[in-house]
Amino acid sequence: MKHSQVRTIAVTGATRGLGRALVDEFLCAGHRVIACGRSDERIESLRRTALSDRLLASTVDVRDAAAVRRWGESALEAGFDPDLVIANAGVVNAPAPLWEVPPDEIAEVMAVNVLGAAGTVRAFAPRMVEKGEGVLALLSSGWGRSTAPEVAPYCASKWAVEGLAQSLSQELPRGVGVFAVNPGVIDTDMLRRCFGDSAASYEGPDAWGKIAAPFFLGLRPGGGTVSVTVA
C-alpha cells in the first residue's frame, strides 16, 4: 500500500468534532470517505458542505449492529471498499460519582464506545481479511490507559477498547492491522462536558485534524504496537 495512493476510509461519528475534522482533511487530500453519524440533519449538512462524489455519507446509529452491518454492505455495493476504518463515534457520561450516574447513561456509554467499535469491526474486518490488507483504528483515550474521578463509565469503555484491540490483533492475519488510538486532549463538546470552559485552552478539532489525518494514513500493520497516540 503506497503512501501516495488514493485511500478509501470509513469514519464513524463523522458529523462533528474529531470525526468531521478527519473527513474534511481526507477529502481535501483527495481520498474517498465513507462517513456515518446518527443525525439525519448533520449527515445532510455534511453532504451539502463536502459536495464531493468521493463522499458516501449515511445516517447510522452505531449502537445498532445490524444497521452498521448494512452500512458496510451498502458501501461495498457502491464501490467504496475501505482500506482504513476509523471507529471514532463516542460519548462521555456527565461527570458524577459512579453511584450517581444513571444506569441508562452507563449503558449508553458502553453501547456507543464499545459495542459501536465492535460492530464497526464486524462490518468491515471480514472484507479486509479476504483482501489480506487493511487497518482498523479504534478511538481510545488517555482515559483508556489511566483513570480520573467522575468519568468511571467512560474510562471503563475506553479500557475495554484497548483490550478489544489487543485481542483482535492476535486474531487478524498478517497484512491487516488494528490500533487503539489515543487522539490526545482536544477542545470538543465531549471535553467541555468534562472540563467546562477550561477546555478552550486546548487546540480545536480543525487544528488537530491537520496532524491526525496524516497520522491515521500512516498507520501500517506489522509494527507490533497496538496502543498508539496521535502525534
Q: Which of 154, 159, 208, 216 is catalytic?
A: 154
Residue 135: CA count within 13 A, CB half-sphere: 22
> Any idea what the CATH number is for the domain that residue 116 is in?
3.40.50.720
> Quick one: what percent of the chain has pLDDT higher than 70?
98
What is the enclosing helix (H) or strand (E) of 9?
Answer: strand 8-11
Per residue in 129-157, pLDDT (tens digit) is 999 999 999 999 999 999 999 999 999 99
Per residue in 176-196, pLDDT (tens digit) is 999 999 999 987 888 888 888
In a domain, 14, yes or no: yes
In a domain, 1, yes or no: no
Give the chain's domain count: 1
Q: Radius of gyration of the chain from Cα atoms?
A: 17
In a domain, 3, yes or no: no
Residue 202 annotated in active site: no
Helix (H, G, I), strand (E, B) or coil at 11: strand
Grid cell listed for 193 = 462536558
Grid cell listed for 183 = 487522539
In a domain, 69, yes or no: yes
In a domain, 2, yes or no: no
149: domain range? 8-229
Per residue in 208-218, pLDDT (tens digit) is 999 999 999 99
> Quick one: what percent of the chain has pLDDT higher than 90?
87
In a domain, 199, yes or no: yes
Say if CB 222 and CB 205 are below 8 A apart: no
In a domain, 133, yes or no: yes
In a domain, 140, yes or no: yes
Least confident of 47-61, 111-125, 169-183, 193-207: 193-207
Average pLDDT over all residues of the chain: 95
pLDDT interval class at 1 (50, 70, 90): very low
Report the candidate in 185, 67, 46 with the shortest Cα–Cα distance to residue 123: 67
The model's pTM is: 0.95
Specify the pLDDT at position 2.
Answer: 47
